[in-house]
Chain A
Amino acid sequence: MISIRLETLLRNSLTRRQFGQGGMALGATLAASPAFALTEERARKLVEAVVADIFRVINSGRAEASMLREFERIFARYADVDLIARRTLGPDGRSASNAQINAYVSAFRGYISRKYGRRFREFIGGSVEVTDAYAEKSYFVVRTRTQLQGQAPFEVRFLVLTRNGQDKFFNLLIEGVNLMLAERTEIGAMLDKRRGNLDQLIADLRTFG
């Protein structure tokens, strides 16, 4: 009951957004076509697609450097990297120029892909299975049961939204640990170490991870 209401609310708010962006005619078409509103089914499909792509790379047996480049492509395709990166800057991002933000987003994309990509070897012989999906606030949560070899299964939640007509995930929670917050903590500490020098951080991030 509650989930149906949330979904309706979400659908209405997304539709309003599209009215603003695409004009009345397009908005009316979108409102009539449920395919344009994010649904549990689509959120679930996005997660299944990103998981399938990741395992394809892991099982390809390529060299690590080539795998890491593939992971960066997958991250760019399925994640709202721009939003994740901006959020990790927090209020420090307010004083940055557009050029700095763009450079940061690009450096962050590579850093995250390398940092977590190196650990995807732990996923060899493992599996990620979608268990359920539900609406929460203005996004969808897709829950998965992740099983790595020789370990107890654990829960990974993908948070999925639609922006400019594209479905993307914008956060991951591993057994409750919010990865965006973990990275914001890390980036904040790196910035402190560089006395708030964002350009220095951007240059260093290009080589980190």
Chain B
Amino acid sequence: MLKKLLLILVLPTLAACAAGPRDANGVLDPYEGANRAMHAVNKGLDTVALRPAAAVYGGVLPKPVRDGVNNVANNLELPGDMINNLAQGRLDNFGNNFFRLIINTTLGIGGIFDPAKSFGLDHEDTDFGETLFVWGVPEGAYVELPVLGPSTERGVVGRVVDAALNPLGVILNDDQEDIASGVSIGRTLDMRYENRDLINSTLYESADSYAQLRLLYLQNRRFKLGDGEIADDFDPFGDPFAQ
């Protein structure tokens, strides 16, 4: 029922998604010109804002404090994750996230600590982009979004639906929403700080950071979704120069 309703709402947008063959690297990128322009903007933002802010954030706050901030941000995402778990028909993940929310909000003092993990309840992170994947919606073209970075057409629709469905908008008051935004930014800074070697080498040391980021994002996203189980679609005994 929910699935039908949502599909009717998002189908017109999805129908506008680009279709076409992927290239030898599994990439479909008809908006490459606009994407590259956005990549230049995002890279500039990283250079002047995100990278230096993350260096200060990671340098000043000790790891346990940053972990606490990440935990609160993750805990606040659980209601939205649970809606998607249900929409995907993944009741195990829903149960996991449900009990995580209860345990970490109470025993974990508002989600600052993660005692649920010691009970074997890992965070089953998800989003509406994944729900669309489970429903069989194709990935569409690659898109680099302003500030938010790499995504796909399916992922963009997912983000819009996630924002609209987010139950926190109804539950939290204004002050609480400020805290929610704050911990979410903190988590992003921590992610940038902890992965600085990989991110710096991809953005600042590769010959074509746009193409490199696009490949890393698409492959990692497909891996997380379980899309494409063949490790390497190639005959190692064939022509090595073949596409």
* Nearest residue, chain A, Cβ from B233: A137
Q: Which of A122, A159, A189 contacts B207 (CB 8 A)?
A: A189
- A161 lies within 8 A of B207 (CB): no
Contacts of B242 in A (CB 8 A): 91
Tell me the complex Cα distance, A133–B224, Å. Answer: 20
Interface residues in A1-37 (C-beta closer than 8 Å to B): 17
Q: Which of B63, B211, B236 contacts A185 (CB 8 A)?
A: B211
- B215 lies within 8 A of A136 (CB): no
Q: Which of A159, A185, A190, A192 contacts B232 (CB 8 A)?
A: A159
- B212 lies within 8 A of A185 (CB): yes
Asked if B237 CB lies within 8 Å of chain A CBs, one says: yes
Asked if A141 CB lies within 8 Å of chain B CBs, one says: yes
Interface range, B side? 20 to 34
Interface range, A side? 35 or more
Contacts of A181 in B (CB 8 A): 25-26, 215, 219
A138-B235 CB under 8 A given contacts A87-B240, A90-B241, A94-B241:
yes
Contacts of B25 in A (CB 8 A): 181, 184-185
Contacts of A176 in B (CB 8 A): 219-220, 222-224
A182-B212 CB under 8 A given contacts A87-B240, A150-B63, A176-B223:
yes
Asked if B48 CB lies within 8 Å of chain A CBs, one says: no
Tell me the complex Cα distance, A171–B219, Å. Answer: 14
Asked if B92 CB lies within 8 Å of chain A CBs, one says: no
* Nearest residue, chain B, Cβ from A89: B241
* Nearest residue, chain A, Cβ from B122: A152
- A177 lies within 8 A of B231 (CB): no
Asked if A124 CB lies within 8 Å of chain B CBs, one says: no
* Nearest residue, chain B, Cβ from A177: B219
Tell me the complex Cα distance, A161–B238, Å. Answer: 13
Asked if B216 CB lies within 8 Å of chain A CBs, one says: yes
Asked if A157 CB lies within 8 Å of chain B CBs, one says: yes
- B232 lies within 8 A of A189 (CB): no
- A139 lies within 8 A of B236 (CB): yes
Nearest CB in chain B: distance from A134 CB, A? 10
Interface 0/1 of B168-211, CB less than 8 Å to A: 00000000000000000000000000100100000000111001
Q: Which of A91, A137, A177, A193 contacts B235 (CB 8 A)?
A: A137
Asked if A53 CB lies within 8 Å of chain B CBs, one says: no
- A136 lies within 8 A of B230 (CB): yes
Interface residues in B75-120 (C-beta closer than 8 Å to A): none
Contacts of A180 in B (CB 8 A): 232
Tell me the complex Cα distance, A90–B224, Å. Answer: 27
- A157 lies within 8 A of B231 (CB): yes
Nearest CB in chain B: distance from A105 CB, A? 11
Tell me the complex Cα distance, A108–B194, Å. Answer: 29
A122-B231 CB under 8 A given contacts A93-B241, A181-B25:
no
Contacts of B231 in A (CB 8 A): 136, 141, 157, 159, 171, 173, 178
Residue ranges of B at the interface with A (Cβ–Cβ < 8 Å): 24-26, 63, 194, 197, 206-208, 211-212, 215-216, 219-220, 222-224, 230-237, 240-243
Residue ranges of A at the interface with B (Cβ–Cβ < 8 Å): 17, 80, 83, 86-87, 89-94, 119, 122, 136-139, 141, 150-151, 157, 159, 161, 163, 170-171, 173, 175-178, 180-182, 184-186, 188-190, 192-193
